[in-house]
Amino acid sequence: MSAIDPVTLAVLKGRLEQIADEMDATLYRSAFNPIIAEARDACHGLYHPVTGATLVQGTNGLPIFVGAMAFAVKAVIDKVEREGGLEPGDTFLFNDPYDGGTHLNDFRLVRPIFRDGKLYCWLASVGHWLDIGGNVPGGFNAQATESFQEGVRFPPVKLIRAGVMNEDIVAILSANARVPISNYGDLNGQLNALDLGERRLTELLDEYGDTTVAAAFDVFSDRAEAMMRAAVSALPDGTYSFEDYLDNDGITDERLTIALDLTVAGDAMTLDFSRSSAPCAGPLNIAYSTAVACCYVALKHVFTDVPANAGCLRPITFVIPGTTLLGVKPPKPVGGYTETILRVIGVVFGALAKADPSRATAGPFGTINALSLAGHRQDGSRWVMFSFFGGGLGGNPESDGLNHANNPISTATIPPAEILEAAYPVMFTQWALRPDSAGAGAHRGGVGAIYEIESLTDADVFLLGERGRFAPFGVAGGLPASLNQFFWQTDQGEKSPPMASKVANVKIRAGQRVRLESPGGGGWGDPRRRDPQRVARDVRLGYVSAEAAARDYGVAVKENGEVDESATVALRKGAAA
């Protein structure tokens, strides 16, 4: 096989990524539920015919899904190897979180692509459906003790056989959802995306030839491996340990430890999570494939130049025992996986920062705050609103953290208030930045946010969040950020969750409100080294109060928002003494 010239490789790389991007865009534009259509909680890609390894991903898809999809495609490959019967026009559907999935709301569709009667590769789509049964509308059941309480679990099943839809499976899906029309729309959006991807890939293969494109796949993976090995080689050999904590599992009010021992040896790296807590009773567990996927996301954040395909994981060894909450089997509940993977990503950041302090980034806000409200409209129809929310990212050696950002697990956007208000009987009475929520530092963290929502009907309220007990950490002398807080109105006044960040089965009346106050990010560096003029600007913008400026930064700010130079010198001298 002759070598492919660099120009052809560059063209193929762009064309293949464009296929995945166009599949993403097709689903975003056709999905029924705002979590896909607006928040973009979905992804698409191309996968190896034998191993299921990631060949190409789009630039907009959710990174955590990209990391897990290789396991999902391999689950379908294993089914075909056991049972046979694969043919053109087939499409598999499943949401099994223990076999390449993440949690039950995330549905995967996997389709084989044939050329001249032979399997060439796989296309796959994943999107977050609004509801798939279980005890809690929206699926985030903070009190689940087994997966059966989180929704209906589908192993890989053949939804379409040789181009013919199995309507029985569609009927089962509809019968087990509170909002079947929404799910049906999302299903068809994903099928449309696969149809488009198949057409675009066929056009590309016809133009360049099957052999040339397959050779390009190999080159892309080999280059990713070489670049990752070079990045790892630049780190000093040794073992670097870091740990962080989850508030509780929603059942027992005891902290859970996520611990990492990261070993660098030449151009290879081992991520060992053996010291992490044992599987828990509540839904904060994750499966092995999910744990690997979030490590992939963390490494891609740090080594940004390395291409995103399976080759980048070849130098990495994962030690994730089934004796920890990061490698569980069914029926352990996993519905709160988003909170756990955020902590896994954080400890990878923390360990790598010890290996290379120039990469040190303070902790991000570290919770999606999965909030569900559900009730009945005046006409008796069911409504289920699920959404996730933003917070501050950590300060870093180059800059302050971003204000009101999304978490590092995704490129998703926070659904706009206008869209949620249009889709559901709710009204946002506050959507604002949260003062004093960021960790102070020479480079402060980003600030979190305050969201207050009034329900226009009687509603049930459910929250599965984190960072209510353990604040996002600061680094290099920076301070931690604020804690996560949640409140709801009752006839006797406001209440907050006894488990700090998790609550289920709260009932509010029409006209009553819930309020979420998300954390900021941790600070980087000694706050007393921050330029007083920048502190004063933060006070003027409402990010930092004058009291916090004096307490944390040693900066006195006048009522007009300007620095009081003499008082600031006295504050900082006093702190130094």
402: which 2 tokens? Answer: 């971003």
| pLDDT per residue as tens, the chain (577 positions) | 458 999 999 999 999 999 999 999 999 999 999 999 998 999 999 999 999 999 998 888 777 887 788 999 999 999 999 999 999 999 999 999 998 889 999 999 999 999 999 999 999 999 999 999 999 999 999 999 999 999 999 999 999 999 999 999 999 999 999 999 999 999 999 999 999 999 999 999 999 999 999 999 999 999 999 999 999 999 999 999 999 999 999 999 999 999 999 999 999 999 999 999 999 999 999 999 999 999 998 998 889 888 888 899 999 999 999 999 999 999 999 999 999 999 999 999 899 989 998 888 899 999 999 999 999 999 999 999 999 999 999 999 999 999 999 887 766 678 899 999 999 999 999 999 999 999 999 999 999 999 999 999 999 999 999 999 999 999 999 999 999 999 999 999 999 999 999 999 999 999 999 999 999 999 999 999 999 999 999 999 999 999 999 999 999 999 999 999 999 999 998 876 5
Which 8-state DSSP code applies to residue 552?
I
For 85-213, where are the E strands, in sequence order?
A: 91-94, 106-115, 118-128, 157-161, 164-165
Determine contact, residues 251/283, Cβ cutoff 8 Å: no
Distance, CA of 69 to CA of 545 (rounded, Å): 45
Virtual torsion, Cα 423, 424, 428, 434, nearest 10 deg: -80
Q: Rounded distance, CA 441 to CA 313, Å?
A: 34
pTM of the model: 0.94
- pLDDT value at residue 1: 41
For the chain, the farthest-separated pair of C-alpha atoms sits apart, in whole angstroms, at 81
Please answer whether residues 331 and 146 qualify as being in contact, where contact means their C-beta atoms are separated by less than 8 angstroms: yes
Please spell the DSSP secondary structure of 309-378, one letter per residue.
SGGGGTTEEEE--TTSTTS--TTS--TTHHHHHHHHHHHHHHHHHHH-GGG----------EEEEEEE-T
Look at residue 574 in the predicted model and tell me its pLDDT. Answer: 81
Where residue 267 falls (left for φ over 0; alpha for ψ -120 to 50; beta otherwise) is alpha
Which residue(s) pair with 46 in the sheet? 56, 123
pLDDT value of position 414 = 86
Interacting residues of 113 by C-beta distance below 8 A, sequence separation 6+: 119, 120, 121, 122, 123, 198, 201, 202
How close are the terminal C-alpha atoms of the chain, in Å?
72
